Amino acid sequence: MTFFNSFLIRITLAVIGGIFYAFLTYWIALFLKLPDEFVIFSSVLVYLSYLGSRLLLLFSGIDSPYYSKGRKMPSNPPIRENHFYETAQWVGKFYHQHDLVLFVFVGILSIAFLISLVVDGLSGSPFGDTVRNLGDIILPVR
């Protein structure tokens, strides 16, 4: 599990996750027919907030459930009475659980997509037809 605890991997995942959440915000705001200026502003705000909070947690030097340096003995033990330390622990725990839930969700979604491809292949229909039909049932907007 040290691969996912790597500093470079955490920075890369923070940038990619920020981009994904910015796109999600962009499409939700477009779907709600909000003004274009607000759509762009909200997407940039979500990106900067997501990226900034994760990078702040990484560069703070505080070991948390989200990222720990793996040292045996810290050179300067953090002061545990500090509000920043307590907040970093809470945010680290939240991000750790968020990433775990997101990983499980994406795994389930991937398995469902693969099953739909197998169903399409066995029934002779074009690939993606089952997903498209499911999308029409869930979102009947045309």
Cα–Cα distance, 4 to 106 (Å, whole number): 17
Strand residue runs (E) in the chain: none
Contact of 134 with 116, CB cutoff 8 Å: yes
The tokens for 79 are: 């002061």
Question: How many of the other CB atoms lie within 10 Å of CB of 128?
Answer: 13
pLDDT number for residue 79: 63
Q: What's the CA angle centered on 101, arms 8 and 13, to 5 degrees? A: 15
Cα–Cα distance, 36 to 30 (Å, whole number): 8
Whose CA is closest to 96, among 57, 66, 60, 61?
66
- The sign of the torsion formed by the CA atoms of 37, 39, 40, 46 equals positive
pLDDT number for residue 39: 93
Q: What is the mean pLDDT of each run of 10 residues along the chain (142 residues)?
A: 69 87 91 91 95 86 73 58 82 83 83 88 83 72 54
Give the pLDDT confidence of 75-93 residue by residue, as tens digits. 566 566 788 888 888 888 8
pLDDT number for residue 141: 58
pLDDT number for residue 75: 55
